[in-house]
Chain A
């Protein structure tokens, strides 16, 4: 049996490992950003940049200094939150990321809630109705959703819910003209609730539903699939049969023996999916005009705004690494057999 001490040691090791992965990633991104062009200053300064602007970029990012000094400055800037000034928008990159990032978190968490409800719910129903028409229907649904291109699902959602059945706004985070709540968490609907502004909350929710549902529709399939197979695997396990033979109440069997064990993989997939969704919001945010980090990344890509793009990539990378870390830890906590790479005995 593995003790709590061993679990803490495992988590610490994973955190240290993740930290070094982040450092390595930052170094790789730094060098990629410097080898994209013979003259990064000209590239970073943007099209039609004047010599004075290029000189400003060289000075701002120390591009005339030796590469190792630039790398050290880059690390210093990163760890002190000084990401430099965005040459396209002329605003501090850190404050831009700080503005856009919570908006994406709002979208992703809402989508994740939908994914959990729909994904696990349908997975459970599908497993219970294994090999029936209901099962076939659910499998058809999640396979179709999974195979649908993001842009197509987004455009169809807009077409259906804002044009044919005009019940939801076509884009944006809240209606212009609305007085936004004071920024507490940066997440609009939460800040609205915290400040007791119900009108803002409803308006924010109104704008949130469509992009979040679209994101959920595109991604619930993997959770349904994993939940279904997890439940099916557990359903025929000897300990479940044994529990039934002992006359344990069926609800108790479902809750404590089948669902708890059958959803271990789903839990870890959901954790990984969080990072996956954050990095995958680019198209959804662009089409729904959601002012999040994905839209910011899209704008940075289309305007070759390399300084902003570098930090967006770093943020995305860190999120994916953290999501994987959480998944690892959850897996270890939920299934002690997997811990420390010992495998199932």
Chain B
């Protein structure tokens, strides 16, 4: 009886198994049919573009966002007075300004504004909006504010100070005499001359009273973009030191695209601005930065790397962002153009080095120790192992490809890997040193163990740190790898005066805030970073000020060269690598004008020129 029942049970289960399989097959077939029909419906629409990246923007407010994805959106919706001229990083074209002049002493920039420019909501644009927008960014005082704050300030330090209340009280459409008094007052950072002329007076920012030859580049950042005062005032106005939550999630600019759909955490769609003022500009007056958009919609989706590559393969995405380590894989995908961009693009995203902080770790006061470490690192080995060879070794602080790099470096060669020499310098410093042939000297004086910082969020830094640990162990220096998450790491390495005995050595990097050599020199050489005390002194500081304050090319080169050579011979920073970055597009996408200042997919400014062949 029981046997019979078990057999019945098995038959029942077998039937159930078959029923489940049949159901699964029917469901799968249904989905396949649906998906195939769906796929046919969504074959590439030549009026729209799908771009896939990794990180959702931090904010949609041009005064707040301080990330590549945020700036990418800003550059399509908002516009500033000027933009980089095509692929150049030293010349500019007018956007909201059609022309400008610089005073002979370099302290005053006068901009002549285009007429008939409007915001996407139809509000007219003029010099009052420029005045409002610049002071708004300064008074809100968010993370990127220093880009303007170097040269401009809300007050003149004597008798004039613009506050949030003043910004909120002015009638920008029909200003009265008091409003005009504020906007036209001559001794301030931004002075309105008339509705279509505005002067920027440098010297009120924290740089002090100096010209700044990279000033135009700072004006190409979203910080200096025109926002509509009427829109801001209707949605909470300006609050000193604070963000505006409406502006964080909405955008009304003068640009060729306007904000379409935002799916929080997933995607942002930009749609062609139907009221774009550039539509009415004669063709011979257009430049690439103001020409109307060709494609109707740009959808930027924020996806994992696996999804991005899959979508590129399937044709669901036309442009994706991917690390250089995937170069060889991506090259095998049909109908996709993958190329290594010139190294200036890689430099703009990140140039890496090892720092040694003598304040935090007294042994680093000995130049022989620093030299030993410098020669112990296998730079070429790191580049080959970590980046498959797709990175270059460099000599800083100006990164490769940036203006004045070659002239500053001159005949200096990147640091070389020489374990024999490394051991010799370590022995010379009095520490136990292991030579490549196995000879050990100063056996009883081992080098003290030192913590080595890097960020565990970066696989390339992690791999590089492990190689460096092995390289140093080979000559007798033991380091303890002490990784931190990226935000915690940033708090250690990017904070001036943050020398700490816990992290006297590690990997650091710099990524541009605006595309200018002085941005890197200020950060790495001028004491804004951890472990700069080995080389930072008044001479280096003065050289960097002089390099930024003159328009004389010879003087700029001399000053940068002085800084580069001073740092090089101190061996306190071991310049590691600058990885290349990739341009990855479907083969029928064209019209991209790459510029390292751009944030579109990390390497171009504007989507208005992008289209299909």
Residues of A within 8 A of B17 (CB): 125, 134
Known: A53-B142, A91-B245, A121-B16. A304 touches B263 (CB 8 A): no
Residues of A within 8 A of B143 (CB): 48-50, 53
Residues of A within 8 A of B266 (CB): 172-173, 176, 289, 291
Q: Once the chains bind, are B301 and A177 in contact (CB under 8 Å)?
A: no
Q: Once the chains bind, are B9 and A250 in contact (CB under 8 Å)?
A: yes
Known: A202-B34, A288-B304, A291-B263. A250 touches B8 (CB 8 A): yes
Q: In whole angstroms, what is the CA distance A88 to B65 when docked?
A: 10
Q: Does A10 contact B (CB under 8 A)?
A: no
Q: Once the chains bind, are B310 and A289 in contact (CB under 8 Å)?
A: no
- The residue in chain A whose Cβ has the minimal distance to the Cβ of B309 is A163
- The residue in chain A whose Cβ has the minimal distance to the Cβ of B32 is A167
Q: Once the chains bind, are A304 and B310 in contact (CB under 8 Å)?
A: no
Q: Does A314 contact B (CB under 8 A)?
A: no
Q: Does B59 contact A (CB under 8 A)?
A: yes
Q: Does A183 contact B (CB under 8 A)?
A: no
Known: A43-B491, A172-B301. A91 touches B249 (CB 8 A): yes
Interface membership of chain A positions 127-154, coded 1 if the CB is closer than 8 angstroms to chain B and 0 otherwise: 0110000100000000000000000001
> Of A85, A134, A180, A287, which is within 8 A of B306 by CB?
A287
Residues of A within 8 A of B248 (CB): 89-91
Q: Does A83 contact B (CB under 8 A)?
A: no
Known: A47-B487, A128-B10, A177-B299. A296 touches B141 (CB 8 A): no
Interface membership of chain A positions 21-62, coded 1 if the CB is closer than 8 angstroms to chain B and 0 otherwise: 000000000000000000000110011111011011000000
Known: A154-B306, A162-B314. A167 touches B36 (CB 8 A): yes
Q: Once the chains bind, are B36 and A47 in contact (CB under 8 Å)?
A: no
Residues of A within 8 A of B316 (CB): 162, 169-170
> Of A53, A89, A124, A286, which is within 8 A of B59 by CB?
A89
Residues of A within 8 A of B485 (CB): 301-302, 304
Known: A90-B245, A170-B316, A296-B265. A176 touches B299 (CB 8 A): yes
Q: In whole angstroms, what is the CA distance A11 to B143 when docked?
A: 52
Q: Does A299 contact B (CB under 8 A)?
A: yes
Q: Once the chains bind, are B13 and A289 in contact (CB under 8 Å)?
A: no
Q: Does A166 contact B (CB under 8 A)?
A: yes
> Of B1, B32, B59, B302, which is within 8 A of A90 by CB?
B59
Q: Once the chains bind, are A99 and B264 in contact (CB under 8 Å)?
A: yes
Contact count A vs B, C-beta below 8 Å? 168
Q: Which residues of B484-529 are within 8 A (CB) of A?
A: 485-488, 490-491, 494
Q: Once the chains bind, are A155 and B306 in contact (CB under 8 Å)?
A: yes
Q: Once the chains bind, are A209 and B31 in contact (CB under 8 Å)?
A: yes
Known: A90-B59, A177-B269, A206-B38. A289 touches B301 (CB 8 A): yes
- The residue in chain B whose Cβ has the minimal distance to the Cβ of A117 is B20
- The residue in chain A whose Cβ has the minimal distance to the Cβ of B267 is A176
Interface membership of chain B positions 294-322, coded 1 if the CB is closer than 8 angstroms to chain A and 0 otherwise: 00010101111011011101101000000
Q: In whole angstroms, what is the CA distance A49 to B263 when docked?
A: 27
Q: In whole angstroms, what is the CA distance A155 to B310 when docked?
A: 10
Q: Does A244 contact B (CB under 8 A)?
A: yes
Q: In whole angstroms, what is the CA distance A192 to B10 when docked?
A: 42
> Of B2, B16, B263, B491, which is within 8 A of A176 by CB?
B263
- The residue in chain B whose Cβ has the minimal distance to the Cβ of A55 is B241
Q: Does A158 contact B (CB under 8 A)?
A: yes
Nearest-Cβ distance from residue B170 to partner chain A, whole angstroms: 23
Q: In whole angstroms, what is the CA distance A165 to B313 when docked?
A: 11
Known: A43-B491, A53-B241, A56-B241. A163 touches B314 (CB 8 A): yes
- The residue in chain A whose Cβ has the minimal distance to the Cβ of B492 is A47
Q: Does B179 contact A (CB under 8 A)?
A: no
Q: Does B230 contact A (CB under 8 A)?
A: no
Nearest-Cβ distance from residue A81 to partner chain B, whole angstroms: 17
Q: Does B536 contact A (CB under 8 A)?
A: no
Q: In whole angstroms, what is the CA distance A279 to B578 when docked?
A: 38
Residues of A within 8 A of B35 (CB): 166-168, 206
- The residue in chain B whose Cβ has the minimal distance to the Cβ of A169 is B316
Nearest-Cβ distance from residue B566 to partner chain A, whole angstroms: 27
Q: Once the chains bind, are B59 and A166 in contact (CB under 8 Å)?
A: no
Q: Does A113 contact B (CB under 8 A)?
A: no
> Of B1, B12, B309, which is within 8 A of A254 by CB?
B12
Q: Does A241 contact B (CB under 8 A)?
A: yes
Residues of B within 8 A of A244 (CB): 1-2, 5
Q: In whole angstroms, what is the CA distance A158 to B36 when docked?
A: 17
Q: Does B590 contact A (CB under 8 A)?
A: no
Q: Does B64 contact A (CB under 8 A)?
A: yes
Q: Which residues of A contact B (CB under 8 A)?
A: 42-43, 46-50, 52-53, 55-56, 85, 88-92, 99-100, 121, 124-125, 128-129, 134, 154-155, 158-159, 162-163, 165-174, 176-177, 180, 202, 206, 209, 241, 244-245, 250-251, 253-254, 286-289, 291, 295-296, 299, 301-304
Top 3 nearest A-B pairs by Cβ distance? A304-B487, A291-B265, A167-B35
22 sampled A-B residue pairs with Cβ under 8 A: A43-B491, A47-B487, A88-B58, A89-B248, A91-B248, A121-B16, A124-B16, A125-B17, A155-B306, A158-B304, A158-B307, A159-B306, A163-B310, A165-B32, A166-B39, A168-B31, A172-B267, A176-B269, A206-B31, A206-B38, A251-B12, A287-B306
Given A53-B241, A304-B485, A304-B488, output 11 extra A-B contacts at Cβ < 8 Å: A49-B143, A90-B59, A125-B16, A134-B17, A159-B306, A162-B310, A167-B39, A170-B307, A173-B263, A289-B302, A289-B303
